[in-house]
Amino acid sequence: MKNKCFCCEKNLKNECNKPLSACYDAVAFDSNGNFGSSIFDPFEIDARIMIHICDSCLKKKAKLVCYHQQKTIKQIENLQTFDKKLKKDELAEKKRDSFTKKVLERLRNQKHKSRKNIHREC
Ligand SMILES: [Zn+2]
């Protein structure tokens, strides 16, 4: 059984070619069913289904994905749609990149100035 994206059905690569192993560029969704489902609400406690969705499809449908952080069964925080979480992450990454560039630029300038001072002393 090959791992394929649940949405676009493209083949997904994984490390050891086993059906339940982690895939590259995809997220696995594993469920033990749902009480309200008419097709998968098993009595067996160990029965599970799993699907993979490639990163590209997940990003395309991010508005339909619920994101949250679950501290305990009852304590759910930061409930939002996944597209908003992705946008926040992108902004944070841009800020980090901008900060890193500024720091690197300062270090280069300091290095350049200190070289000039060394040359003046010679
Ligand atoms: Zn896909």
| Predicted TM-score (pTM) of this structure | 0.70
Give the residue from 44, 60, 76 where a domain finishes. 60
What's the CA-to-centroid distance between 7 and ligand 1, angstroms?
5
Compute the half-sphere exposure of residue 118: CA atoms within 13 Å on the CB side of its CA: 6
Instruction: Give pLDDT, residue 114.
Output: 77
Q: How far is the CA of 83 from the centre of ligand 1 (A)?
A: 16
* Residue 24 sits in the same domain as residue 50: yes
68 or 111: which leads in pLDDT: 68
77 pairs with which residues across the strands?
69
Q: Report pLDDT for 119.
A: 66
Average pLDDT estimate for 82-106: 91
For the chain, the domain total comes to: 2
Distance (angstroms) between ligand 1 centre and the Cα of 15 equals 18
Q: Which range of residues forms the domain containing residue 12?
A: 1-60
End of a domain among 10, 29, 60? 60
Q: What is the mean pLDDT of residues 77-96?
A: 91
Mean pLDDT of the chain: 89
Q: With bands split at pLDDT 50, 70 and 90, how would you rate the model's confidence at 81?
A: very high
56 plus 70 within the same structural domain:
no
24 CA to middle of ligand 1, Å? 12
